[in-house]
Amino acid sequence: MSSIGIGLIGTGYMGKCHALAWNAVGPTFGDCPPVRLVHLAEVDRDLAREKANAFGFEKATGSWRDLIADPEVDVISIAAPNAFHPDMAIAALEAGKHVWCEKPMAPKFDDALKMRAAARSAGRAAVLGYNYIQNPMIRQIASFLEHGAIGTVNHIRIEMDEDFMADPEQFFYWKSEASSGYGALDDFAVHPLSLIRMLFGRLASVTTDMAKPYAERPLKAGGKRAVETHDIASVLFRMESGASGVLMANRAAWGRKGRIAIQIFGSAGSITYDQERMNEVEIYRAGGPAAEAGYARILAGPAHPPYDQFIPAPGHGLGFNDLKVIECRHLIAAMAGEPAHVIDFEKGVEIERAVHAMAEAHEKRGWVDIGYD
């Protein structure tokens, strides 16, 4: 492609992340076609024009369908609420556009399958916004596992906690609506599930408990509304490899800001990582003198690509938006038919299938096997 025409739907937190990534990917990597910010869509034209001016887009519209129909747009970033993902992604793919859609795929599993079918039929890149897998430290963990640094993995513990829904007086909004999905499982725990998928493979069976710390939330106009989603989820799982695991997710965890804590236990050592300290990883290697035993801390640096594309010195650290830039570069590779380190709609359906099996296990109060097609 001589250049890439960008369309963006949605300009909230993640929409801005996409815009920043599209602006930064060329200067950061220096090996991709020029990017042209063509068209931006929001809920009304006035807001769209305001954000288009702020982000650097040429055109603005209050109709996402007009954006999809624009022949100058090659790829569409979808950063709208979860319930809108299926219609937008399918329409974009049917129009011959590549798609970069925020996670999760869709609140309903049937819609996720339709999105995958549309991607297969269109033959276009269809990538989901799982940027944590792009962290050079996560890639270093993958290298440790690939080379047997801790032996055979037998147990995985992973937790994701934030406190953006911890305040019981926070107003009701769309993340508490049933139309958005289950809650912590699909809006939230899909991030650790993406890490599990890329580091260890597929889950085989699960059992789940979900909880609502607050049964209702206040409305801005007065009164209260019942909370329809679960802000806490706890899952026991078995991997296809036979390893056991625990996944815990809490959107109402006071004091936690961006925590994805991973512990990996193997036959010859263990690895620990925390997203709140995303530029470091610790590894324990069994053996050697007992007096010298302990975890070794590794700081991110140019030896952990593509850190070197951002900063020439170790220990300075990457951030969340930098991971989005890396994800954007891999999306461009996928668009060109090159190997790409991404969660596409194929892998995305596997994650969605696991999420729905977890929800089913909660309803049945027992173990559920995950069947893949």
- Mean per-residue pLDDT for 332-346? 97
Kindly give the pairing relationship between strand 368-369 and strand 232-239: unpaired
Query: For position 94, what pLDDT does the model report?
Result: 98
Query: For position 143, what pLDDT does the model report?
Result: 98
Of the pLDDT bands very low, low, confident and very high (cuts 50, 70, 90), residue 110 is very high
Distance CA 179, CA 174 (A): 8
Identify which of 111, 107, 71, 117 has the alpha carbon closest to the alpha carbon of residue 87.
Answer: 111
Amino acid (one-letter) located at 8:
L
Distance CA 255, CA 104 (A): 25
Task: Kindly state the tokens that stand for 37.
Answer: 């910010």
Of the pLDDT bands very low, low, confident and very high (cuts 50, 70, 90), residue 372 is confident
Distance CA 76, CA 313 (A): 34
> 210 pairs with which residues across the strands?
233
- Mean per-residue pLDDT for 343-370? 97
Residue 166 and residue 252 in contact, taking contact as beta carbons nearer than 8 Å: yes
Query: For position 2, what pLDDT does the model report?
Result: 87
Kindly give the pairing relationship between strand 59-61 and strand 35-41: parallel
Distance CA 313, CA 249 (A): 34
**Is the pLDDT at 1 greater than 80, yes or no?**
no
Please report the DSSP string for 136-169 in residue order: HHHHHHHHHHHTTTT-SEEEEEEEEE--TT--TT
> 77 pairs with which residues across the strands?
8, 100
Q: Is 63 helix (H, G, I), strand (E, B) or coil?
A: coil
Can you list the domains of the chain with their CATH numbers? 4-131 (3.40.50.720), 135-316+344-368 (3.30.360.10)
Amino acid (one-letter) located at 322:
D
- Mean per-residue pLDDT for 154-172? 97
- pTM given for the model: 0.94
Residue 153 and residue 241 in contact, taking contact as beta carbons nearer than 8 Å: yes
- Supply φ then ψ for residue 320, to 5 degrees: -55, -50
Residue 227 and residue 215 in contact, taking contact as beta carbons nearer than 8 Å: yes
Query: Which of 112-116, 180-184, 210-214 is predicted with the least confidence, judged by mean pLDDT?
Result: 180-184
Query: For position 188, what pLDDT does the model report?
Result: 87
**Is the pLDDT at 187 greater than 90, yes or no?**
no
CA atoms within 13 A on the CB side of 57: 33
Please report the DSSP string for 212-278 in residue order: -S-SEEE-TTSSEEE--SBSEEEEEEEETTS-EEEEEEES--TT-SSEEEEEEEETTEEEEEEGGGT
Torsion of CA 238, 239, 245, 246, to 10 degrees: -80
Of the pLDDT bands very low, low, confident and very high (cuts 50, 70, 90), residue 180 is confident
**Is the pLDDT at 265 greater than 90, yes or no?**
yes
Residues 202-260 have pLDDT tens digits of 999 999 999 999 999 999 999 999 999 999 999 999 999 999 999 999 999 999 999 99
Within 10 A of 78 (CB to CB), how many other CB atoms are there? 25
Query: For position 198, what pLDDT does the model report?
Result: 96
Query: For position 74, what pLDDT does the model report?
Result: 98
Within 10 A of 57 (CB to CB), how many other CB atoms are there? 23
End-to-end Cα separation, the chain, in angstroms: 34
What's the mean pLDDT when you consider all of the chain? 97
Distance CA 87, CA 108 (A): 12
Length of the chain (residues): 373
Return the H-helix or E-strand segment holding 352: helix 345-364
Say what percent of the chain tops pLDDT 70.
100
Of the pLDDT bands very low, low, confident and very high (cuts 50, 70, 90), residue 169 is very high
Task: Kindly state the tokens that stand for 325.
Answer: 């830039």
